[in-house]
């Protein structure tokens, strides 16, 4: 009764009903059709009028064939998201009817929805000049995103083949890495939301996101990030000292200023590192949310996600040289359950020992095993020993096969995987030797002696010549301390055999010595992105600064005056004086680039020199 007695809504309409207009258009009379297009394109169109049109369009989708593509495009450009709830509901109903009746318009509909995955841009013009172009800080942006996902789910419900048409569009609309942090953050967040209700796309979406993150990562070498942080800290210190010289601040004002400085300290000084930090934080949150249901680890969900992430790791991360941060998604998911960490190590082990894999992939797998065993706190000693047993047994078998005959000489091209495995073993021992010997020293030493490092070090393939000098130095010092093997005779012989490379250039001759012939790196070097490192740090094994006693033990048998200085977190000690400077293990960027003395927070003579 109420509905019948209520008066109809007042709306301004021209040209009759929609079906009449479209029939006239088919007969060649375009006047009313043009008038309709003009009305729909009017930015001041009222909600009530729009609802009426959409209602008629819902009933007339049979007429909206390929020939009326222009009209459909106008409908898809309507600013429906920022209208009343009634308009939104009517529009969602129209979308569902349209794609179910005319699948020819599926792609344009998907493109329209995906284009809303980023905050709109607000451009302010003054005298025909753009004076502002920034992200819209609309309070309703979260609600708008929710509505977009409802729209996508509606379309997918009516058209089962939606995922295969959607994926290329998601790739096409991915913002360029130089877009604002907010734009990238919203788009990646929305992509990950899509995986929840379109699970068949999860692997492809994770590949897409991680590929973009990888491009950001390799575009921002760790040295550039550290330099930017150091410059920002120096600049902040200068500003603070200038202010203190000019003004006698009240104590409470000082405290207020400190709070502001602490808040801004979350940002990375390097703009691309800031984007990477935000996106890595989102990825870590996604992994945690998928794997945990009601705060408890869901084994089934975790295994499924682990398989997808390992697939992405094999396809994108493993073939990429010297990425710094993105690979930590594997580190993070493996921390949830020991079984995952062991599965990851087993996966890398199979890559390493398979002769059918390219040598560079096998070498990288070796780097990952060594770095993972050394840095992951959640890996117990029993697993470390099991992995060392596998690696060392493989090395001994390799020596059995290769240490005599035509190829029994030091050559990275021939024996790359062997040297990479040696370095992984040495690196693991450097970080884990205290734990291996903890509790029962005699039993621990007996285990280390059973590994027969002497045979590996003394073999014709000469791994000490190829491995990074900083690793060799620490390995030599530790094995000498526990009388496992004496490496210094071989190290000194190798030093005499190093032939410097002389390169002529405009600035004169440059003498270089190749100290990283493997071109190896340690994938789990210290993580330095400020926001996302909070997720990693609690499970990360930093290099423990050498105590005075340890330094004395390592220095006593060795005279000063060395040939190689290395900059890495375990040589200079993990003692940064501020958050912006964090030590890293030796890698292809850092080897021989700086000496420990020149590094902030480096204890003098902390490195172990070769004996004369």
pLDDT in tens, 198-239: 999 999 999 999 999 999 999 998 899 999 999 988 887 776
Given pLDDT bands bounded at 50, 70 and 90, which one contains residue 496?
Answer: confident
Q: What is the mean pLDDT of residues 264-276?
A: 86
Question: Which residues, in sequence order, are bridge partners of residue 124?
Answer: 132
Q: What integer pLDDT is reported at residue 502 of this predicted model? A: 52
* Residues 410 and 465 sit within 8 Å (Cβ to Cβ): yes
Model pLDDT, residue 427:
95
**Which pLDDT tens digit goes with each residue over 337-378?**
999 999 999 999 999 999 999 999 999 999 999 999 999 999
Cβ atoms of 293 and 301 closer than 8 Å: yes
Checking if the pLDDT of 79 tops 50, the result is: yes
User: Mean pLDDT lowest for which of 20-34, 164-178, 341-355, 591-605?
Assistant: 591-605
| 16: Cβ contacts below 8 Å, ≥ 6 apart | 32
CA distance 15 to 480: 96
Q: Is the dihedral of CA 72, 74, 77, 78 positive or negative?
A: negative
Global confidence as pTM: 0.81
Report d(CA 557, CA 145) in Å as an integer.
Answer: 66
| pLDDT tens by residue, 407-449 | 778 778 888 899 999 999 999 999 999 999 988 889 999 999 9
First CA to last CA across the chain, in angstroms? 105
The Cα–Cα gap between 194 and 191 comes to: 5
Other CB atoms within a 10 A radius of the CB of residue 350 amount to 11
Lowest mean pLDDT among 182-186, 256-260, 438-442: 256-260
Task: Tell me how far apart the alpha carbons of residues 100 and 61 are, in angstroms, rounded to a whole number.
Answer: 9
Rounded CA-CA distance 465/582 in Å is 28
81-89 mean pLDDT:
91
Contact between 237 and 230 under an 8 Å Cβ cutoff? The reply is: no
> Cα 198–203–208 angle (5° rounding)?
105
Exposed/middle/buried for 93, CB within 10 Å: 0-12, 13-18, 19+?
middle
pLDDT for position 322? 78
The kind and range of the H/E element at 505 are: strand 501-505
Residue located via tokens 């699948």: 103
């Amino acid at each position: 009764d109420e509905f019948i007695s209520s008066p109809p809504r007042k709306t301004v309409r021209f040209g009759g009903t929609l079906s009449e207009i479209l029939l006239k258009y088919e007969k060649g009379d375009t006047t009313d059709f043009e008038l309709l297009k003009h009305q729909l394109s009017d930015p001041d169109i009222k909600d009530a009028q729009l609802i009426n049109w959409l209602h008629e369009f819902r009933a007339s989708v049979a007429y909206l064939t390929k020939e009326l593509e222009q009209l459909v495009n106008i409908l898809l450009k309507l600013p429906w998201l920022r209208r009343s709830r009634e308009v939104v509901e009517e529009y969602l109903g129209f979308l569902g009817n349209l794609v179910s009746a005319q699948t020819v318009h599926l792609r344009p509909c998907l493109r329209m929805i995906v284009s809303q995955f980023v905050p709109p841009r607000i451009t302010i013009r003054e005298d025909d000049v753009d004076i502002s172009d920034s992200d819209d800080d609309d309070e309703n942006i979260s609600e708008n995103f929710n509505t977009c996902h409802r729209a996508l789910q509606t379309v997918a419900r009516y058209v089962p083949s939606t995922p295969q048409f959607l994926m290329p569009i998601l790739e096409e609309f991915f913002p360029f890495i130089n877009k604002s942090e907010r734009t990238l953050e919203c788009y990646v967040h929305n992509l990950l939301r899509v995986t929840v209700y379109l699970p068949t796309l999860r692997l492809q979406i994770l590949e897409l996101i991680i590929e973009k993150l990888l491009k950001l990562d390799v575009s921002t070498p760790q040295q550039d990030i550290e330099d930017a942080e150091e410059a920002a800290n120096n600049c902040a210190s200068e500003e603070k000292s200038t202010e203190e010289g000019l003004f006698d601040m009240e104590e409470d004002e000082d405290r207020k200023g400190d709070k502001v400085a602490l808040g801004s300290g979350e940002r990375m000084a390097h703009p691309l590192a800031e984007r990477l930090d935000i996106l890595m934080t989102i990825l870590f949150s996604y992994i945690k949310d998928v794997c945990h249901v009601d705060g408890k680890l869901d084994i089934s969900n975790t295994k499924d996600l682990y398989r997808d992430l390992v697939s992405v790791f094999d396809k994108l991360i493993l073939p990429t040289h010297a990425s710094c941060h993105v690979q930590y998604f594997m580190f993070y998911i493996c921390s949830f359950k020991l079984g995952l960490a062991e599965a990851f190590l087993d996966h890398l082990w199979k890559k390493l020992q398979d002769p059918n894999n390219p040598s560079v992939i096998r070498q990288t797998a070796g780097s990952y095993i060594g770095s993972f065993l050394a840095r992951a706190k959640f890996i117990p000693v029993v697993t470390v020993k099991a992995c060392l047993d596998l690696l060392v047994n493989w090395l001994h078998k390799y020596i059995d096969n290769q240490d005599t005959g035509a190829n029994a000489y030091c050559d990275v091209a021939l024996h790359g995987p062997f040297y990479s495995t040696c370095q992984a073993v040495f690196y693991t021992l450097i970080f884990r030797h205290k734990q291996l010997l903890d509790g029962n020293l005699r039993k621990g030493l007996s285990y280390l002696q059973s590994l027969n490092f002497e045979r590996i070090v003394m073999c014709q393939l000469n791994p000490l010549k190829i491995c990074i000098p900083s690793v060799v130095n620490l390995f030599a010092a530790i094995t000498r301390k526990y009388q496992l093997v004496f490496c210094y005779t071989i190290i000194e012989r190798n030093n005499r055999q190093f032939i410097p490379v002389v390169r002529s250039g405009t600035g004169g001759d440059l003498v270089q010595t190749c100290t990283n012939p493997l071109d190896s790196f340690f994938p789990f070097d210290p993580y330095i992105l400020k926001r996302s490192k909070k997720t990693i740090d609690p499970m990360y094994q930093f290099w423990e600064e050498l105590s005075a006693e340890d330094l004395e033990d390592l220095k006593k048998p060795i005279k000063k005056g060395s040939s190689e200085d290395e900059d890495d977190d375990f040589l200079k000690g993990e003692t940064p004086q501020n958050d912006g400077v964090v030590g890293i293990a030796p890698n292809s960027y850092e080897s021989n680039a700086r000496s420990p003395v020149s590094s902030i927070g480096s204890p003098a003579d902390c490195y172990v020199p070769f004996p004369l």
